[in-house]
Amino acid sequence: MIVASGTSTRHVGALAEKIQERLKARGYGDVRAEGLADCNWVVVDAGDVVVHIFRPEVREYYNIEKMWRNGPGSQTKIH
């Protein structure tokens, strides 16, 4: 799972589209995206790889990283 931020709705949408293209090009096959209509929080799901892309305010509000903080294999939060 990857959690990332875009600077605006346009940026979030562009990141999601590019990630979908690149995952498909690398053989991930059926890559789906949810949230492209609003682009506040877009989830790109390629099965083994799931990418959450947020606008900064939305990422801060939902703070989904807290679910994995201090758990097994936890990683440092990257901004």
Q: Which pLDDT score, from 0 to 100, does residue 72 have?
A: 58
42 Cβ neighbours under 8 A, 6+ residues apart: 12, 13, 15, 16, 33, 34, 35, 36, 52, 53
Q: Which pLDDT score, from 0 to 100, does residue 76 have?
A: 53
Q: Which pLDDT score, from 0 to 100, does residue 73 have?
A: 57
Can you give the residue range of the structural domain that contains 19? Answer: 2-67
Residue 74 lies in a domain: no
Residue 72 lies in a domain: no
Tens digits of pLDDT across the chain (79 residues):
999 999 999 999 999 999 999 999 999 989 999 999 999 999 999 999 999 999 999 999 999 988 777 655 555 554 4
CATH code of the domain in which 62 resides: 3.30.460.10
Domain count, the chain: 1
